[in-house]
Amino acid sequence: MKVFNGKTAVVTGAASGMGRAVTLKLLSFGAHVVATDVNAEGLKALAAGHTGTGKLTTQQLDVTNRTAFTALIQDIAAKGSLDYLFNNAGIAITGELKDNVESDWQRTIDINQMGVLYGTLAAYEVMRAQGNGHIVNTASIAGLMPAPMLALYAMTKHAVVGLSLSLREEAKVYGVRVSAVCPGIVETNIVGVDQMQKLKLGNDSPFDFIRSKTPVRPIPPEQAAEAILAGVAKNLPEIIFPLHGKLAVSTFHNARRIWELAVAPGLKVMRGQ
C-alpha cells in the first residue's frame, strides 16, 4: 500500500503475533518501522527475518513505563515525523472473575489499558504539533461485546474502544486520525496451554480446541495484519475482522437471546461441568 511507503510507524508488541505480522507487512510496503517489545530475543529474531524494503529499528520497551514510552516517541519525533503508532501490546488472563487475583487485575490494566493510554498521550502530543498522524489502538471484539471467562481482558478492551472512538472525534480538528482494531480469534500466543488448563479445556492449543469444538476458524496473524492495514488506509473508526468477529458482534447487538444461547454450552465446558 503506497500510503505507508516512506512513513514512520511505531509498533508495540512487535516480537510476536499480530505485532510482528503488522511490522513485516509495513516493511514490505517500504515503511520505517520502530518495532518495540519487552522480549529482546523476539526482537532479534524479527530483525533476522526482515526482508522488506523498509527500514527496521528495534527497541526494547515496557509499555507500562510511561517515562520510557514518552521518551521513545519524543526521540522519534525529534528525528523526523511520527506517522503511525500501533498500540498493539496486550495480554489475556482467563478464568472466572471470582478466581482472578489482584495481580491479575493490575497486570491486565497496566498493559492493556494504561500502556495504550501512555502511547496515545505521547503520540497525540507529537501528532497535534505536526498536524497529522494516525493512532491505531488494538482492542478486540471483546471491547464491543461480553467475553465470559475473559472479564478482565474485556474490561480493558472496552476501555481501549472508548478511548479511541472518543479521541477520534476530538482529534479531527488537529488533523489526527484514531482507529480501534477489533479482531476476532487470531492465532497468536496471547492464550497459552496453561490458560487452557485453567479453563479445564485440556492440553491442546486454544486454536485446536476451537477448531474441533466450534465452526469458528481462527485466522493467522498475517491475515490479521492485512485487515488492520487495509482498515487504517481507509481510516475506519473500528476495524472489525474476520467474518466470525463481525457476525459475533452483530449477533450480540441485534439478537441477544441467540447469542446467550450459543454461549451457554461453552461456559459449562469451561467450568468443567
**What pairs with residue 37 in β-bridges?**
60
Q: If we measure between CA atoms, which residue out of 203, 184, 195, 196 comes closest to residue 247? A: 184
Residue 22 above 60 pLDDT? yes
Compute the average pLDDT of residues 238-245: 97
Catalytic entry in 84, 118, 124, 153: 153
Question: Active site includes 153?
Answer: yes
Does 201 have pLDDT greater than 80?
Answer: no
97, amino acid identity: L
Q: How far is it, in rounded angstroms, from Cα 144 to Cα 238?
A: 10
pLDDT at 79 over 70: yes
Cα(259)–Cα(272) distance, integer angstroms: 21
- For residues 260 and 200, the model is more confident at 260
For the record, the C-alpha cell of 180 comes out as 480501534
Residue 204 has pLDDT above 90, yes or no: no
Q: Where are the domains of the chain?
A: 2-270
Higher pLDDT, 18 or 99: 18
**Residue tagged 508488541 (cell numbers):** 13
pLDDT score of 177 more than 80? yes
Query: What's the whole-number mean pLDDT along residues 167-194?
Result: 90
Q: Which residue has the higher pLDDT, 269 or 173?
A: 173
pLDDT confidence of residue 216: 82
User: What is the dotted CATH code of the domain comprising 2-270?
Assistant: 3.40.50.720
Grid cell at residue 91: 495480554
DSSP string computed for 158-185: HHHHHHHHHHHHHHGGGTEEEEEEEE--
Q: How far apart are CA 23 and CA 55, in angstroms?
A: 10
Which residues face 10 on adjacent strands?
34, 85
Separation of alpha carbons 77 and 208, rounded Å: 43
7 vs 188, higher pLDDT: 7
- Residue 72 has a pLDDT of 98
Confidence at residue 94, expressed as pLDDT on a 0 to 100 scale: 87
User: Which pLDDT value is given to residue 191?
Assistant: 66
pTM of the model as a whole: 0.94
Average pLDDT score over the chain = 92
Strands 176-183 vs 238-241: parallel, antiparallel or unpaired = parallel
Distance of alpha carbon 36 from alpha carbon 168, whole angstroms: 24
What does 46-103 look like in DSSP terms, one character per residue?
A: HHHT--SSSEEEEEE--TT-HHHHHHHHHHHHHHS---EEEE-------S-GGG--HH
Number of DSSP helices (H) and strands (E) in the chain, helices first: 11, 7
Q: CA-CA distance, 49 to 222, in Å (whole number)? A: 14
Over 70: is that where the pLDDT of 121 sits?
Answer: yes
Binned at pLDDT 50, 70 and 90, residue 213 comes out as: low
Per-residue confidence (pLDDT) for residue 49, from 0 to 100 = 87
Residue type at 230? A
Q: What is the mean pLDDT of residues 161-174?
A: 98
Query: Which of 129-133, 188-192, 193-197 has maximum average pLDDT?
Result: 129-133
- Per-residue burial over 208-230, b = 16 or more CB atoms within 10 Å of its CB, e = otherwise: ebbeeeeebebbebebbbbbbbe
- Amino acid in position 23: T
The β-bridge partners of 137 are 87, 180
What gap in Å lies between CA 150 and CA 93, rounded to an integer?
7
| pLDDT at residue 270 is higher than 80 | no
Distance CA 35, CA 37 (A): 7
